[in-house]
Structure formats: structure tokens, C-alpha cells
Structure 1
Amino acid sequence: MSAPLFAVVLAGGVGSRFWPLSTPARPKQLLPLVGSQTMLEDTVARLDGLVPRDRVLILTSTQLAPAIRATLPWLAADQVLEEPRAAGTAAALAWAAVEVRRRGGADAAMLSVHADAAIGDDAAFRRVLAAAASAAVTHDALVTVGIIPTEPNPGLGYIEPGAALDAQCARVARFLEKPDRAKAEQLVGAGCLWNSGIFAWKAATFLAEVTAHAPELAAAMGAAATGREAFFAAVHDTVSVDVGVLERSAKVAVVRGGFGWDDVGTWGALRRVRPRDAFGNAVHGAAHLVQARDNVVHAEHGRVVLYGVQDLVVVVRDGLTMVTTIAHADQLKQMLDALPAEVRDQR
């Protein structure tokens, strides 16, 4: 591909799904949830050989920028794109596209990946993203990567492919919101794909589609030439890139991918993406498990002993231990809402 290719890594999210380990100052992407490195470090390393490191841009909040720079000290100062406030993914990616076009010229292309996904096959990941970037340039399209499902997962959005553009790429017929399990089974049977949130497009094409289809960002696009502060100050209605652009554009295409993708949405997901012992336990830290099966243990401090239990999540950080079941690991918000503030907000 002759067009200069950049990668934009979305690393601004602050969530509670990995409480008590995650905090506003140390969110999921800055935790070693899958391997020995943080998820952000894994993500950036995975791009090696696909995008030169000086064309990797980290999109994050002003609050997280110091931690991002400490995690990736080789980054140049201008490789961290700071959002002064949360304004939705459409605005964030529009600003990133403005920067990519400014740095790479009118033909520059960009990949957009999340900093907090697990990938099983890095080489296959790079091959699929290279194909997505090539399709974006060839077809002048907004290309999303649709993951070939391994199960009917009701926790994910889906993509219905439409007419083929070439052997690897098809138009998107429609996006589908998270279904119930019965509907998810129907979608998988019909050949629909998981919506990964991984994108490729020419920066100029994306900006043109934002201008044409996202009235929520009209004022911001007009202010973009003035600079970052003026751009984000002009965003009055936040909207996701899926709703604000992709669902409204006629230029959206999909490339299929199968590379062991997992969005690692809960503590229970670590049982899928971490190495497991002979009894199905996924363990990080000092732990001893006796007659225990299919548990997730993450111990940052001390030692953990599990005996005669199954399907538990045990998380230990300094001064705090949480125990729940795999089945309840996706309901932490309800648990946090019920906790007293001095426990919930412990740092």
C-alpha cells in the first residue's frame, strides 16, 4: 500500500468492570490482565511490522496521558493525542483523523484499534489489518473488521455482510445491536460477524463522511482548523462513531477476521485468554489451588489458597479482596452500587 499508514490506539476508557484492580487512574488498558505487560503495551507491540512506531498515536484523556507516557516512555510528545474531555468516539476519531491527515498528507490512511482487547494470533491480526487498510484505500471505504464468531455471544454487536467488493471485503448491509441468545444464534447461523470496533480508512474519507453524516459534530469540524481546544469545545452532542457515522454512511465495508479476538469484558473472560493449568484455573500471582477447578485468581499481593471450589473469581490487591463467581462477574456495577463509598472508592 503506497499511502502512509498510521495506527490510532484508543486508550481513554475508564471503567469499573475490573474493580477492585482498576481505578480511574489505572484503568483496564494499564493493567497486566492477559500477560506480564499491560494491555496497552501488548497492543502497541502487536502493531510492530505493520505500522512504524513513529506513526503510532495513542488517543487518551488528559488525565491518563502521564500514565500512558510512563507506560510507553519511547513515545514522542506529539504521539499522545489528549482529549481535554470525553466527547464520544466519533469526535475522538475525527480529531485523530485531522492529525493523521496533517502529518501524513491527503492520502494518509489510519487504523483504529482498542488498547484493551486480547488477541490470540498476532500474525493473523496483522494480516487482517493490512487487508483492511488496503481495502479502505482501494475502495475508498470505511472498513470495519468483523470477527468470525466462535459462539453465539449475546454480549456483542453484530455485522451483517452485504454485496462483495472483492474476495476479502464486502459492503456492510447493517449493524445489529447486542441481541438475546436466541437471536445471536440466528445471526451466527446467517453468517453475521462480531463487531470488533477495529477500523481502517483514509483520514480524508472519514472526515468527509463525518462532515456529511454527523450533524452533532458540524460545529467542531468547522473549528478543527483552529486547534484541539476549539474542536472539543465545539462538540455539544456526544455520539459514538458507530451511530454518528458508520450506521449513516453508504461507504462502509467489512473485512472478515479470525485471530482469537476477545474484548475481555469481565473478570470471567480471563479464563478464556490467560494460560490455564491442567484443571482450568487461570492464575496471576502467588496462589495455591487444591481440588479447585475453572477459577480465575489475580493476586497482586500476598498469597491465595483455594480448596475444593469451582468457577470463582478471586482478586487481591493491597488491603482489599473480592470474591465472586464467574456467573456474577459481569454484574460488578450492581455490587459497586451496593457498597459503601469507603470500600468502593478505595485506592
Structure 2
Amino acid sequence: MLFAIIMAGGSGTRFWPRSRRNRPKQLLNLHGDATMLQQTVARIAPLVAPERVLIITGADQAEATRAQLPDLPAENVIAEPCPRDTAPCVGLAAQIVARRDPEGTMIVMPADHVIQPIDTFLATVKAAVAVIDADPSALVTFGIKPTRPETGYGYIERGELLETRDGVAVNRVVQFREKPDRDTAERFLASGNFAWNSGIFLWRAKTIQGEIERHRPQLGAALNRVGASIGTPAEADVLAFEFPRMERTPIDKAVMEKAENVKVLEVRYDWNDVGDWRALKSLIEADGSGNTIQGDVIARDTTNSIILSNDGGLIATLGLDDVVIVQAGQATLVARRDQLDKLKGLVESLDERGYGSYL
């Protein structure tokens, strides 16, 4: 059976001040009529019933996550005792899936992507499942065809074409590449052999378990101890003891960069990882001056800006260009758009400056 694993942790620093520790961006309605988490669950619903959807989130976000997804069994929202990046997250999910279905296949997805059209996404998932059914030892990753020399994404270098599934090309992965500088990104784009790493994966639960044990034996052993406790009275205590002691590492570095049988599907749907406030430019139609506006805003002689009032207060601007202004939760962000890469550091400094209540 196919299970959906939705990674829904994170502290929400890049969408501050709307996002907070207990309300990160996946719990916000940034685009459309539902939150990003709700959209992610709805996207995979035609292929995966609610009882086979697992949400991995932080302990301080679990209650709000369950409230947003009342159709999911409460026990399917799994609270990590502390952040440990995606390798422990994926490994924990694999332990749960393998105990529900030893031959279970799992698609792993972040909770904060915008993907359209949904039918094309579902067709790609079906193609990936077919690849795994034919080769259960494979690890499949979804690659996005680059449209620009982007320096903010990791890249996947494609090797030879292995097959085509329902019109979706399946290539061998040569290597994963870290976020490049501008010149390198331009070379990647020009070569035509690279895809953006979307962070979406599909594999058999027992396959990823074996790969973690092979490449990260200490992590694999800890996950196995957690897995052995699932369904027993000791489950919560074992997870609380083992998880904080696990290596903090992403699944890409822990496994994907080292595994031998990795395949990439170059997808045909539109994808946006909604990395920070600048992403709204491509999701919300701008006004005649190039401004993206939400809420009560008067923008006079203002161009190419993102201005959001989320608490009902009025924001009035005059003579501005290329700025971001967000008012929410008694806090206001004012920044040049080209400075948003520094927002995470600013937010992380609030506590030490005595403004921890705004986190």
C-alpha cells in the first residue's frame, strides 16, 4: 500500500511575523482557501486514504496540526520530541509504516509546497510507484526542471535515461549538488542535465530503513529501538529518550548522496517551495504597479513591493520601491526584498534582545 509522509516541522522564521513557533508557515493560509498543510493533504488524497497519511511535526505544533486535519486519525500526527532534520524524521516514519505494512511504499513530501496542476502531480506519483513496484530496491526522487539559474536550491545531476513511465522520464542519478553560486547555477542550467531537488521522495519503507542502517548505522540502530517499542506501553518513553540523541542530519546527506540505486523523475507540474515572502509574487496577482497586497493597504507611488496587513490595521505607504512590509501579531517587518535572506538571523536574535514573546 502507498502511505503519505508529510514533513510539517519547522520554526517559521522566513515568514515572520505571520509565522511563529507554534504557527509555522505550513499552518498558515498564504495562498488559496486552505492552509499549506491542508492543501498538501488534499493533493495526495485521491491516492492515499486518511488512515495512511502520517504527519511528522514538532511537539509544540501537534495540537494545532490535529485541529487542522480532523479527518485524520489523531495518532497519525506524530510529534517529534525535538528537531532533528529530515533523516530521523523519515526514519521514524519508515518504522511506523513498516509495522503497519511490511511491504509498504511511502511518498515523503514537505508540507509547504505549492504544486499545480494536481492531476499532473498525481500522474507523476503513480509513475514513481510503478518504478518502485518494478524495482523495490530503488530510491526515487522528484526533480524539477530548472527555469532559471537559481542559487537557492540544491540540484540533482541526471545520468542515462533508464525508462519512461507514462510519459515521465526516469534517469539514473549521478550526484546531488549543494546550492551553487551564480556561475555554477548558470552552467547547470545550460547543460540540461540538472534538476532542482524538490525534496519529494518515494521508496519502500524497508528499503529506506536498510539504507539508513547501511550509511548511518548509529542512527539506524536508534530508529530500530524506537520501532521495536511502537505499540507497547514504552513507546512514548523510548521515543523521548532516543530521538534527542539521534544525529541531526538531512536525508539527502545521510542516504541519498551515498546510495547506489537512486533514480530521478523530472516532473511536469509547476512547483513552488514558498521559501519566503518573495514567493508570493508568483502566487498572487500583482496590481498595476507590481505590488502584491493583502489586507487594508494604501500604496501610493509604491512599486514592486509586498505589503500585507493581517490584523486589520491599515498600512499606508508613500514613495517606496522593492520593499516588504508585513504586519501581524503586534509585530511589523519592514525590509528591502533583497535583504530577506537575513530574516532568519533577525528572528533568531529576538529572544536574546528580550522580544521572545514575538517568536
Aligned to 2:114: 118
For residue 64 of structure 1, give the secondary structure of its aligned residue in structure 2: helix
Q: What CA RMSD, in Å, does the superposition of the two structures yield over aligned residues? A: 2.0
Q: Which residue identity lines up with residue 291 of structure 2 in the other structure?
A: N
The percentage of aligned residue pairs carrying the same residue is 38
Count of aligned pairs between the two proteins: 343
- Contact 1:22–1:28 under 8 Å retained in 2: yes
Aligned to 2:265: 255
Aligned to 1:41: 38
2:51 aligned with 1:27: no
For 2:284 and 2:315, how far apart are their aligned partners in 1?
18
Task: Find 1:323's aligned residue among 334, 337, 343.
Answer: 334
TM-score by length of 1: 0.92
What per-residue deviation string (whole Å, max 9, x for no partner) do you get for residues 81-113 of structure 1? 22122233111111111111222x222111111
For 1:121 and 1:247, how far apart are their aligned partners in 2?
30
Quick one: structure 1 residues 344 and 314, their matched pair in 2 at CA, closer, same or farther if it must change by over 3 Å?
farther
- Contact 2:50–2:73 under 8 Å retained in 1: no
Deviation at 1:178, TM superposition (A): 0.5
Q: Which residue identity lines up with residue 183 of structure 2 in the other structure?
A: A
Deviation at 1:165, TM superposition (A): 2.0
Aligned to 2:241: 233
Aligned to 1:196: 198
Task: Find 2:92's aligned residue among 88, 91, 95.
Answer: 95
For 2:147 and 2:50, how far apart are their aligned partners in 1?
32
Gaps of 5+ in 2: none
For 2:129 and 2:40, how far apart are their aligned partners in 1?
17
- Contact 1:220–1:232 under 8 Å retained in 2: no
Aligned to 2:69: 72
2:358 aligned with 1:346: yes
Deviation at 1:145, TM superposition (A): 0.3
Q: Which residue identity lines up with residue 323 of structure 1 in the other structure?
A: V
TM-score by length of 2: 0.89
Stretch moving more, 301-310 or 4-13: 301-310
Aligned to 1:16: 13
For 1:199 and 1:80, how far apart are their aligned partners in 2?
20
Task: Find 1:214's aligned residue among 198, 213, 216.
Answer: 216
Stretch moving more, 213-222 or 88-97: 213-222
Q: Which residue identity lines up with residue 182 of structure 2 in the other structure?
A: R
Quick one: structure 1 residues 290 and 122, their matched pair in 2 at CA, closer, same or farther if it must change by over 3 Å?
farther
Deviation at 1:226, TM superposition (A): 2.2
Q: Which residues of 2 match residues 327-338 of structure 1 at below 5 A? A: 327-336=338-347
What per-residue deviation string (whole Å, max 9, x for no partner) do you get for residues 172-199 of structure 1? 1000001001100101112200001000
- Contact 1:87–1:232 under 8 Å retained in 2: no
For 1:195 and 1:308, how far apart are their aligned partners in 2?
39
Stretch moving more, 19-28 or 153-162: 19-28
For 2:347 and 2:246, how far apart are their aligned partners in 1?
30
Stretch moving more, 253-262 or 288-297: 288-297
2:298 aligned with 1:288: yes
**Post-superposition, which runs of at least 4 consecutive aligned residues in structure 1 deviate over 4 A?**
337-340
